[in-house]
């Protein structure tokens, strides 16, 4: 029994190639020759004249062609569709095999290049060591320029020692002004009270933001200048600016090559609003709106760090951007020129989260070893190290300073959060959330009366000082991030691809 070399089925009208000897269904090979002019198996040139009919039954006559209104006509139509599908599948299979060969060659080339680079680096190091030995023997001091010479990096840090004097003066001036105001500041009357929070209900859900593959929103920031606008970043590598009042996407910003970890607004009177993002692709990006077209364009791409950027904060001066990374460093950047002003020396542990003190002088970073380090950004020195007293090691994945500057909210275990008293550098209180609750994000509101916790079982809101649970929202399932809205009268949370808003009824 014959089988067609293309479809793999017994041919109804078999022909054989006089060049390759393969058997084909006549209609399939004729279509392939018309489109390609070659033998589908050998790739050699093939014409219809090279096909020889196989006459297994010379007395048999083909039936008369049926009309299109009959069942045989429909079967013929389906057969033609099937033939086209078989030919397309065959072409895709050939393309797939060709792509595999190209990929194998590329991988081989990359591996060879890596081996050559490694060998050259070993030879370089051996030559430097030999030169140093010769210089030592001859009593010649090594030259100042005898260190590593690497390729120039356009994003290399301008300074890794200290911040420029002008920047330090601006930070000190802002710190003094904010500290003086904070000592006298009272809770604004228009902000939500703990009693009002108890009445919060689900108000609005914005579904299906970002792509479904890979699905999930990872971070959110709400505008203070336009409270209806918010910024989100997702696993789909996209940053979106959305207007809740019109239910429209104002901008969809692409440029990251991996998931977005953090987003933020830079809003300053007299200056253009900047949209900021940082991701697992080791970079941070800055966008702003173009006056002429109204479109958001990329202003800068910051490539300082060598691993995931896990922290992003805008300094109270509104002129500085701070980034934390899993490469065990943090950096400070100018939001006017986008130059790097400072990059810290490597710490002992990667940084998994980051928060900036409301006065702008202290920077807290979390680590995967349960500890929290607090740096003085003016000197780069470690001001304090906070370590939970006991428990299983966990990753500090979120941090939040109270607006009065006295407390720091952070996970102190996998299923509890702690409130650290910065004046005593001690854990003042711990809130247990239940063994099934896994903390993903924490946040203080502006009044420092409320603290929000997002995790695997939704959102919890507690009162500061009394630690009473004021509200619990579980209808959204797991919530990965949350922020307090305008005047703390709303809470925004991320659940899958949805943005959920809870507030006063």
Given this model, what pLDDT does residue 122 score?
87
pLDDT tens digits, residue range 282-304?
999 999 988 888 889 999 999 99
CA max distance for the chain:
109
Contacts of 213 (CB under 8 A, 6+ apart): 236
Whether 224 is in a domain gets the answer yes
Rounded to an integer, what distance in angstroms lies between the CA atom of residue 190 and that of residue 321? 30
In a domain, 113, yes or no: no
**Would 339 be classed as within a structural domain?**
yes
Radius of gyration of the chain (CA): 33
The CA distances from residue 135 to 30, 147, 199, 283, 302, in Å, are 78, 14, 78, 42, 41
Residue range 55-95, pLDDT digits in tens? 866 555 555 555 566 788 888 888 999 999 999 999 999 99
Could you tell me the CATH number of the domain that includes residue 488? 2.130.10.10
Mean pLDDT for the chain overall? 88
| Nearest Cα to Cα of residue 401 among 375, 441, 364 | 364
Q: Is residue 34 part of a domain?
A: no
Helices (H), 278-408: none
Q: Read off the pLDDT of residues 396-415 as tens digits, 9 standing for 90 and up.
A: 999 999 988 889 999 998 89
Considering only CA atoms, which of 394, 389, 398 is closest in space to residue 414? 394
For 359-387, the pLDDT digits (tens) are 999 999 999 999 999 999 999 999 999 99
pLDDT at 158: 42
Confidence check: pLDDT of 28 > 90: yes
User: Is there a contact between 462 and 433 (Cβ–Cβ < 8 Å)?
Assistant: no
Structure confidence at residue 280 as a pLDDT band (50, 70, 90): very high
* pTM > 0.75: yes or no: no
**251 falls within a domain:** yes
In degrees, to the nearest 5, what angle opens at C-alpha 408 toward C-alphas 380 and 162?
10
Is the dihedral angle over the CA atoms 409, 341, 360, 445 positive or is it negative?
negative
pLDDT band at 215 (very low <50, low <70, confident <90, very high): confident
When pLDDT is averaged across residues 41-49 and rounded to a whole number, the result is: 90
Helix axis angle for 71-138 and 26-36, nearest 10°, is: 50
Other CB atoms within a 10 A radius of the CB of residue 304 amount to 22
118 occurs within a structural domain = no
Q: How many alpha carbons fall within 13 Å on the CB side of residue 468? A: 7
- What three-state secondary structure class fits 408? strand
**What residues make up the domain containing 235?**
165-503
pLDDT at 148: 40
**pLDDT of 147 over the 50 cut:** no
**pLDDT for res 233:** 95
Q: Is residue 247 part of a domain?
A: yes
Please tell me the total count of domains within the chain. 1
Domain presence at residue 8:
no
Does 170 have pLDDT greater than 70?
yes
Q: Distances in Å between the alpha carbon of 228 and those of 204, 225, 247, 486?
A: 12, 9, 10, 9
């Amino acid at each position: 029994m014959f089988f067609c070399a293309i479809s793999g089925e017994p041919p109804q009208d078999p022909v054989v190639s006089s060049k390759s000897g393969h058997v084909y269904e006549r209609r399939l090979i004729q279509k392939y020759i018309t489109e390609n002019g070659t033998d589908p198996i050998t790739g050699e040139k093939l014409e219809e004249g090279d096909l020889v009919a196989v006459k297994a039954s010379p007395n048999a006559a083909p039936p008369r062609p049926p009309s299109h209104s009959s069942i045989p006509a429909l079967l013929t139509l389906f057969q033609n569709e099937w033939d086209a599908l078989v030919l397309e599948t065959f072409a895709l299979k050939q393309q797939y095999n060709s792509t595999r060969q190209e990929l194998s060659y590329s991988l081989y080339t990359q591996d060879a290049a890596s081996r050559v680079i490694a060998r050259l680096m070993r030879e370089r190091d051996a030559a430097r060591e030999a030169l140093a030995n010769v210089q030592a023997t001859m009593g010649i001091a090594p030259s100042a320029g005898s260190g590593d010479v690497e390729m120039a990096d356009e994003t290399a840090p301008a300074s890794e020692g200290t911040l420029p004097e002008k920047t330090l003066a601006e930070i000190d001036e802002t710190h003094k002004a904010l500290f003086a105001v904070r000592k006298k500041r009272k809770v604004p009357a228009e902000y939500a009270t703990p009693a009002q929070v108890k009445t919060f209900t689900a108000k609005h859900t914005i579904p299906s933001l970002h792509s479904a593959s890979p699905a999930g929103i990872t971070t959110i920031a709400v505008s203070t200048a336009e409270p209806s606008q918010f910024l989100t970043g997702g696993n789909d590598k996209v940053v979106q600016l959305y207007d809740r009042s019109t239910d429209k996407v104002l901008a969809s910003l692409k440029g990251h090559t991996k998931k977005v970890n953090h987003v933020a607004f830079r809003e300053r009177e007299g200056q253009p609003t900047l949209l900021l993002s940082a991701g697992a692709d080791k970079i941070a990006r800055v966008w702003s709106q173009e006056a002429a077209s109204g479109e958001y364009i990329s202003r800068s791409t910051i490539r300082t760090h060598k691993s995931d950027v896990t922290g992003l904060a805008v300094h109270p001066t509104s002129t500085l951007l701070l980034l934390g990374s899993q490469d065990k460093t943090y950096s400070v950047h100018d939001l006017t020129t986008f130059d790097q002003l400072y990059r810290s020396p490597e710490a002992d542990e990667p940084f998994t989260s980051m928060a900036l003190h409301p006065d702008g002088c202290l920077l807290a970073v979390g680590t995967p070893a349960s500890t929290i380090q607090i740096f003085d950004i003016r000197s780069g020195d470690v001001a304090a190290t906070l370590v939970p007293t006991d428990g299983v090691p966990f990753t500090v994945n979120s941090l939040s300073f109270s607006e009065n500057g006295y407390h720091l909210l952070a996970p102190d275990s996998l299923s509890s959060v702690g409130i650290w008293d910065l004046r005593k550098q001690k854990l003042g209180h711990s809130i247990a959330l239940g063994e099934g609750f896994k903390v993903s994000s924490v946040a203080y509101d502006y009044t420092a009366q409320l603290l929000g916790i997002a995790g695997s079982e939704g959102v919890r809101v507690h009162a500061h000082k009394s630690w009473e649970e004021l509200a619990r929202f579980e209808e959204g399932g797991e919530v990965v991030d949350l922020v307090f809205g305008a005047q703390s009268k709303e809470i925004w949370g991320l659940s899958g691809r949805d943005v959920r808003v809870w507030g006063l009824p």
